[in-house]
Structure 1
Amino acid sequence: MKYSNKIKGIALIISFIFSTALFGQEIQVKDIVNDRNISNVGVYNADQSKGGITNAYGKIDISMFSDDEKITFQHISYLPSTKTKAEILQNKNIVYLIRSSDELSEIVISASKWQQNKKEVPKKIVSISSQDIAYSSPQTAADLLEKSGKIFVQKSQLGGGSPMIRGFSTNRLLLSVDGVRMNNAIFRGGNIQNVISIDPFNVNNTEVILGPGSVIYGSDAVGGVMNFYTKTPKLSWNEETIFSGSAGLRYASVNTEKTGHIDFNIGIKKWAFLTSISHSDFDDLRMGKNGDDAYLRPEYVTTINGEDAVVANGNPLIQKFTGYSQLNVAQRIKLVPDDIWEFDLGLHYSTTSNFPRYDRLLQYRDGSLRYGDWHYGPQKWFMGNFQTQKKGNNTYYDNVKFTNAYQRFEESRNSRLFQDVILNVTEEKVDAISSNLDFEKTFNPKTKVFYGLEYVYNKVHSNAFDRNIDTGEVTAAPSRYPDGATWQSMAAYASLEYKLNPKFTIQSGLRYNHILIDTDFDTTFFPFPFTEATTNTGAFTGSVGFSWLPKNWQITANIGTAFRAPNIDDIGKVFDSEPGSVVVPNPNLTPEHAYSAEFGIQKRIGSSFDLNFTAFYTILDDALIRKDFSLNGETEILYNGELSNVQAIQNASKVFTYGFEFGFVAKFNKQTKITADLTIPRGEEEQADGTKVPLRHISPIFGNVHFIYKNERLKFDIFTNYNGSITYENLAPSERSKAYLYATDDNGNPYAPSWFTLNAKSSFEITDKINLTASLENITDQRYRTYSSGITAPGRNLILGLNYDF
């Protein structure tokens, strides 16, 4: 009898194990955009008699449900989804959720480098989703930012785009790609174009922190942080191999753009591979017909029988020598061996053709065009990024990321005066190595800590020569930067998120950053009174803020400090900043420090109206500004054969920026809504005598209004973009000297006129896999030039895009 009972017991155990293996069905819930696991998803049937929540890895067993039973998946940050168990199993045990369009429900990463609910972050963050990017169909990553309607972008040429945020730009804004700092030691105070190296077709989503971000990101994050997250490889999570991808074409009439893109993903259970390739070709840009004649291109320089000659432009609306081409290639590889470890390798390469510095080609001297040639050589960027992520549940962390990256930047400047045979060439290369170790630890439901370490090393290679275009003879010339100069940054940071209650969250942080610079100066061409410069300096930055969520409100406030340490461009550059001026090195520089405050309100009225308002104020002390200078007691020196005023970057100013940002969304029904945004920035620079002058990188008032209709397959948007004017009195002194960029007022002074455009765009899903986009921008064919830009904006522009998902 005992023996029989043992047999029955063993049989029962075997039966239980067999049935569990056969019928136990574990599934995974993931974000459809970035393939991330989603924890704490509610999973239940129609009457909620059965259910549960996904674990930390987004997994849950659904064997409790029958095959034809409808299962609902619900999470605060995602749209609800209902599927039958059979459908889920047919989809290889994966359920994808779509992030909610409710802005407060969004998940953001930028504020701490880890996922956070946007409603708990006390800073204003602009989120641009993959759906937004696909719909806006941007030509470059700079256009991607501009089309958000919340970021102002300046352009010196077609192959460019320099964002301005709250009165700051260029090296006071930080660029990041997949968590890796893109700013390098020669990011300059003038407009920079590096953002176009990022392929908009390979960007999964973008987050922009409006305001300081130095606690998490260190030097340069004074005015804001722009984070680009590229597409992520997707695994199959079972033994089958999945293959997916997309192909797209884009055409724009205004510069005869021809862009092609393809990406494809191969995923198996533990490995995934994603390849992305894009190529664009742009002809010369056409401006609009209706506007100020000051922006026309009446003539240009060309070479006839080996000599420069000025010829009339057959069509003054065509901006001669603005076209260029660009290639972007990316490869990402992901390995997930188990539920604890994840490895990710990202390789990115971008290169352009030569492209002219268009604003320099517009300059005149003694009644004739100043330059016979001025172009950038190919702008090249390579990044190799290897990231290791580990989940844990111990005393020190719940999650840890170790990111190691190598970047290589290459650029050159090639200039030749009109009817001169000497082409001056400067070539720059930067090798950048960075390591980041970031931790996340949740101590209890109220307390979470983010902390980490960072090391960055940059080495600058700079070379210059003069080439005789007739004879080919090459002679040495002064380089733009001290060759072999190095820049290093070491930092440690910690940030605390504390939920006083479910509706009130406090976030604070502290960072220490130490900067080392080592440069040797060549005195062959200039008798500098120094042969080397070293910097050994540190800075503490901190912030504290709160997010309060009373019913139908979000109220945020944040105060903090930020800093920017001088880099090689500040300390060691030699270049002609503008006609008649030359910038020389200044080794006696210290960091500039920012002190900022921000207050924001978001109010939901009923179920159909959202209103938001943000006020900001920043003081930048010891600001690094280009000012008149003397070299060996001389205020003028001979540079490139021309007597030039001597200038240098100096800790010579205090800068004040402030302003307001408004926005609203009014929903009439599920299909129709109106959105609007308006940004009002202001800023001054305090001089040594206490007087204040307008700040160079303060954009005009800008905004937009969109009327949007959307159903299951069609989305249609009629919108207007608006920029206010900047009078001569409100132009920065450095801009007043660039009259060739601006229109002329009644007194003969340069100024930036106001402008607006009327536009329409649409998207139609022909099938579940084929999507067509069509836009008509600047319908009334306005001729205008965005503030501080060297190139006139596009005229009427028909844009067509076709995308196929496979």
Structure 2
Amino acid sequence: MKFLVSMQKIIFIVLFLIFQGLSAQKIVVLDAEDGQPIPNVVLYNVDKSITVLSGLSGECDLSVFGDHERITFRHLSYQTTKANKNHVLNRGKIYLFPSMEQLEEVVMSISKWEQQRKDIPQKMAVIGAKAIQFTAPQTSADLLQQSGKVFVQKSQLGGGSPMIRGFATNRLLISVDGVRMNNAIFRGGNLQNVISIDPLTVKNTEIIFGPGSVIYGSDAIGGVMNFYTQRPQFSNTDSLSFSGSSYYRYASANNEGTYHLDVNVGKKKWAFLTSVSYSDFGDLTMGSHGPDSYLRNQYVIRENGEDKLVQNSNAKKQRSSGYDQINLMQKIAFKPNNNWNINLNTFYSETSDYARYDRLIRPSKDNTGLRSAEWYYGPQKWFMGNLQLVQNGKGSFYDGLKITTAYQNFQESRNDRGFQKDIRFSTKENVDAYSVNVDFENKRMGSLRLYYGTEYVFNKVGSTGSEEDITTGATMASASRYPDGASWQTLAGYISGELKTKPNFTFLSGLRYSHVWVDATFDKTFYPFPFDNATLSTGALTGSLGISWFPKTDLQITSNASTGFRAPNVDDIGKIFDSEPGKVVVPNPDLEPEYAYNFEVGAQKNFNDRVMLKATTFYTYLVDALVRRDFYFNGENQIEYNGEMSTVQAIQNAAKSYVYGFEIGLDAFLTEKLSLVSNLTITKGIEEETDGSDSPGRHVAPTFGDFHVIWKNQKLKTDLFLNFNDKIAHEDMAVSERSKGYIYASDADGNSYTPSWYTLNFRSQYMFSQALTATFNLENITDQRYRSYSSGIVAPGINVVLALGYKF
């Protein structure tokens, strides 16, 4: 009996020691940048006779390897790493660094389904959550600008209008979680709708350069910006999971305070994600070294019922530029089984009133004061609710099905009052947007993958106008900006195919037909329109054909030809507004779609996994371009608008244009910790009128770029970088820009131009733990005073940014 007890003890001790030995041979594979676990890392020995795969939490068991074996750690998105087993076991973990160019990265923008980035023939830029957290942008417009690949114009602090390849505003398409944000009143003038997207909820942003009309339809001429927000996380166990994060950001240049909180609650089949962000932006302070004409020397106050022009005690402070904003997001995810996912997502964004700063600095006609006492946008509000059903692997003719329905509501207003005038003119707009998308993926045809689907979008526009006497409070109706009750709708179908003829050669091609209807009825109460209504029914066929070829494993060649279009919307056909002092835009019902033809060639060369050189050249030709030109209204070339005789203009198919350029990028890993990153974009463009005359394109950005020196280890990341813009001489500026002398500097001949500028900047981020991260940035270290091309607001001077993030 004693013998049996002794044997049991011995067996127990042996089993315990074995268990301890096995558990001691488990390690975790982590991301070197953010410390997060990496699943699906392949581990193998020298002769590949032993293979292990890391789990969802990055854990892997090394007990199958010999004590002194050399193990290779390989993952498509990370640099391959080799280490001795005992060395790794002593640390209990190993860190992998992201690959220099993630050609195997999965993207969704081209087809709405997951594809490998290396198979995409168009140029793309992907901005991930880690990059967003590191750059700490104030808005989603800044998020795009800080990528170094997109130029952003700002008429005011509460704004940001991207320019891509010589196109901007309603010739670029914005989508959020696969739903188009562009609506019937997106205009040709600068847009600020992108700031409605909370950058603190963005998981990644995918930017397509060039036309994307095959998948996205009208407006996708210059490019597509897809914002994919965070998703609710399910629990991996039967118990309830609870996680979240909090964030605070401060910036000295506008005394910003941003507060953010998100909470995720997950079960195996249900998950809930709630997010709240609030930002308070004060008046922006410009730099000290630059043109004196940029200074805000005077501003208007109202005192004792009278407008007064007063001197600014700090001319570098851009009075009346501040505003605040709140963003809310609620997501609910349900996974009834492995084949279905149901997602209900809601977003809400609202700003306070915010000044259109470029209008507040316009000089009066006699150049002795300021033209406007007030010019501000009312609260910009955006709501979106979308329901998406995703099915995988059960259809008779498809392997994936997505049905996305969405409702959006947009609200905005414009309010202006002249200096020492009693009447405030206001217009209010409300757009209800409904959409349904049905998208399919078919992977059952060998090396051919098909993507096809249909889309329907309906927009209803509400618009009212009013005049208020601010001394008496009396109000009366006036002309609205748009025909009240106007509608815009489109129905489309598309098919796209990806054919991998060889492992190193991929074709991607597609076709789409879109039909667009516009219906507007004009109110003749305030203007004697020579027409009662405007209707449009037009269609467009667009296509694309591209290749991605790897002649060598370290060299990629891409080529893509594509077409894009933009159908006239309610803003083009029916708008009445003052485009600039002394000019008024009136409706024009006789419009046709504009059409773009694009061709691009790109190359990427990898030099020994140390240097990656990327280059793309492109050419885009736009015909029947919708542009603002002089016009006649009831036979008159001038009419009275808001009490002033103004030259009549209208949107017309009056031009064609061509844009071409080069985009160059460099990534160099000098050591495991030190790297260089640089981008350069050169764009040129010309608009040709129907009479044969030409002028530079309005939305062609100056040559711009950046150069970064990045150092990082497991806890600290730093980035010392230079941003730069070339000048645009007076003769190289668009004609419509030359007259805006109040936002530009003057050359030796007194002509307006955009000076070149640079900024020296420093960013840093330190991880105290996987939960706590601190950011310290010093922007515009040399305190330059500069205004980006076509912008009204002057950029920040020296700016200290402090941020603290905590995950729980």
TM-score by length of 1: 0.91
2:15 is matched with: none
Q: Is the 8 A contact 2:287 2:784 kept in 1?
A: yes
Q: From 653, 674, 677, give the equivalent of 2:676.
A: 674
Q: Is the 8 A contact 1:53 1:60 kept in 2?
A: no
2:309 is matched with: 310
Q: From 717, 720, 728, give the equivalent of 2:719.
A: 717
Distance 1:320 1:761, change over 3 A: same
CA RMSD of aligned residues (A): 2.8
Q: Is the 8 A contact 1:99 1:106 kept in 2?
A: no
Which amino acid in 2 is paired with 1:103? Q
Which amino acid in 2 is paired with 1:243? F
The CA deviation string for residues 353-401 of structure 1, in whole angstroms up to 9 with x for no partner, is 0000000001112222111110000000000011100001554111111
Instruction: Return 5+ residue gaps in structure 2 as ranges.
Output: 1-28, 84-94
Distance 1:757 1:64, change over 3 A: closer
2:143 is matched with: 144
Distance 1:232 1:73, change over 3 A: farther
Q: How does 1:152-167 map to 2 (within 5 A)?
A: 152-167=151-166
Distance 1:101 1:249, change over 3 A: farther
State the distance in 1 between where 2:235 and 2:141 align: 34
1:14 is matched with: none
Which amino acid in 2 is paired with 1:586? N
SS of the equivalent of 1:368 reads: coil
Q: How much has 1:74 moved relative to structure 2?
A: 4.9
The CA deviation string for residues 732-756 of structure 1, in whole angstroms up to 9 with x for no partner, is 0100111111000111110000000
SS of the equivalent of 2:357 reads: coil
Which amino acid in 2 is paired with 1:425? S
1:4 is matched with: none
1:360 is matched with: 359
Distance 1:801 1:604, change over 3 A: same
Q: How much has 1:674 moved relative to structure 2?
A: 1.0
Distance 1:50 1:475, change over 3 A: same
Q: How much has 1:40 moved relative to structure 2?
A: 8.7
Distance 1:30 1:454, change over 3 A: farther
Q: How does 1:577-726 map to 2 (within 5 A)?
A: 577-726=579-728
Q: How does 1:755-794 map to 2 (within 5 A)?
A: 755-794=757-796
State the distance in 2 between where 1:727 and 1:458 align: 41
State the distance in 2 between where 1:280 and 1:322 align: 14
2:436 is matched with: 435
Which amino acid in 2 is paired with 1:144? L
Q: How does 1:504-519 map to 2 (within 5 A)?
A: 504-519=505-520
Which amino acid in 1 is paired with 2:640? L
State the distance in 2 between where 1:548 and 1:149 align: 26
State the distance in 1 between where 2:111 and 2:78 align: 21
Q: From 559, 562, 565, give the equivalent of 1:560.
A: 562
State the distance in 2 between where 1:673 and 1:64 align: 32
The CA deviation string for residues 628-685 of structure 1, in whole angstroms up to 9 with x for no partner, is 0001110000000100000000000001110001111121111001111100000000
1:193 is matched with: 192
Q: Does residue 215 of structure 1 match 2:214?
A: yes
The CA deviation string for residues 401-454 of structure 1, in whole angstroms up to 9 with x for no partner, is 100000000000000011111111100010000110111111344111111100
State the distance in 2 between where 1:214 and 1:38 align: 36
Q: Is the 8 A contact 2:362 2:742 kept in 1?
A: yes
Q: How much has 1:77 moved relative to structure 2?
A: 3.6
Which amino acid in 1 is paired with 2:447? K
SS of the equivalent of 2:737 reads: helix
Distance 1:777 1:41, change over 3 A: closer
The CA deviation string for residues 339-359 of structure 1, in whole angstroms up to 9 with x for no partner, is 100011111000000000000
State the distance in 1 between where 2:207 and 2:616 align: 15
State the distance in 2 between where 1:530 and 1:121 align: 48
1:87 is matched with: none
Q: Is the 8 A contact 1:50 1:65 kept in 2?
A: no
The CA deviation string for residues 751-775 of structure 1, in whole angstroms up to 9 with x for no partner, is 0000000001101011221101101
Q: Does residue 467 of structure 1 match 2:486?
A: no
Q: How much has 1:690 moved relative to structure 2?
A: 1.3
2:424 is matched with: 423
Q: Does residue 549 of structure 1 match 2:543?
A: no
SS of the equivalent of 1:442 reads: strand
Q: How much has 1:101 moved relative to structure 2?
A: 4.9
State the distance in 1 between where 2:647 and 2:482 align: 19
Which amino acid in 1 is paired with 2:164? I
Answer with 685-694 or 715-724: which moved more.
685-694
The CA deviation string for residues 121-175 of structure 1, in whole angstroms up to 9 with x for no partner, is 0000000011000000000000000000000000000000000000000000000
Which amino acid in 2 is paired with 1:779? I
Quote the sequence identity (%). Answer: 55
Q: How much has 1:605 moved relative to structure 2?
A: 1.3
Superposed structure 1 runs of 4+ greater than 6 Å apart: 29-33, 37-41, 43-47, 52-55, 58-73, 79-83, 96-99
Q: Is the 8 A contact 1:718 1:760 kept in 2?
A: yes
1:76 is matched with: 76
Q: How much has 1:60 moved relative to structure 2?
A: 14
Distance 1:290 1:59, change over 3 A: closer
Answer with 388-397 or 197-206: which moved more.
388-397
Which amino acid in 2 is paired with 1:506? F
Q: Is the 8 A contact 2:30 2:58 kept in 1?
A: no
Q: How much has 1:691 moved relative to structure 2?
A: 2.1
Distance 1:75 1:666, change over 3 A: closer
State the distance in 1 between where 2:671 and 2:41 align: 28
Q: Is the 8 A contact 1:654 1:687 kept in 2?
A: yes
Distance 1:432 1:662, change over 3 A: same
SS of the equivalent of 1:360 reads: helix
Which amino acid in 2 is paired with 1:721? N
Instruction: Return 5+ residue gaps in structure 1 as ranges.
Output: 1-28, 84-95
State the distance in 2 between where 1:668 and 1:60 align: 28
SS of the equivalent of 1:585 reads: coil
Q: Is the 8 A contact 1:50 1:64 kept in 2?
A: no
State the distance in 1 between where 2:344 and 2:314 align: 49
Q: Is the 8 A contact 2:32 2:713 kept in 1?
A: no
2:173 is matched with: 174
1:575 is matched with: 577
1:496 is matched with: 497
Q: Does residue 449 of structure 1 match 2:450?
A: yes
State the distance in 1 between where 2:65 and 2:247 align: 38
State the distance in 1 between where 2:82 and 2:772 align: 24
Q: Does residue 385 of structure 1 match 2:386?
A: yes
State the distance in 1 between where 2:246 and 2:534 align: 51
Distance 1:379 1:67, change over 3 A: farther
Distance 1:684 1:417, change over 3 A: same
Distance 1:526 1:791, change over 3 A: same
The CA deviation string for residues 564-619 of structure 1, in whole angstroms up to 9 with x for no partner, is 00000000000000000000000000100000000001111122111011000000
Q: How much has 1:193 moved relative to structure 2?
A: 0.2
Q: How much has 1:53 moved relative to structure 2?
A: 8.2
SS of the equivalent of 1:104 reads: coil
State the distance in 1 between where 2:59 and 2:732 align: 64
The CA deviation string for residues 484-506 of structure 1, in whole angstroms up to 9 with x for no partner, is 00000100001010011000101
Distance 1:30 1:529, change over 3 A: farther
1:524 is matched with: 525
Distance 1:49 1:603, change over 3 A: closer
2:101 is matched with: 102
The CA deviation string for residues 66-115 of structure 1, in whole angstroms up to 9 with x for no partner, is 899999985424567999xxxxxxxxxxxx99975533222111011111
Q: How many residues align?
A: 763
1:3 is matched with: none
2:121 is matched with: 122
State the distance in 2 between where 1:510 and 1:486 align: 26
Which amino acid in 2 is paired with 1:246? S
Which amino acid in 2 is paired with 1:476? A
SS of the equivalent of 1:112 reads: coil
State the distance in 2 between where 1:515 and 1:623 align: 17
SS of the equivalent of 1:196 reads: helix
Q: How does 1:234-273 map to 2 (within 5 A)?
A: 234-273=233-272
Q: Is the 8 A contact 1:455 1:490 kept in 2?
A: yes
2:798 is matched with: 796
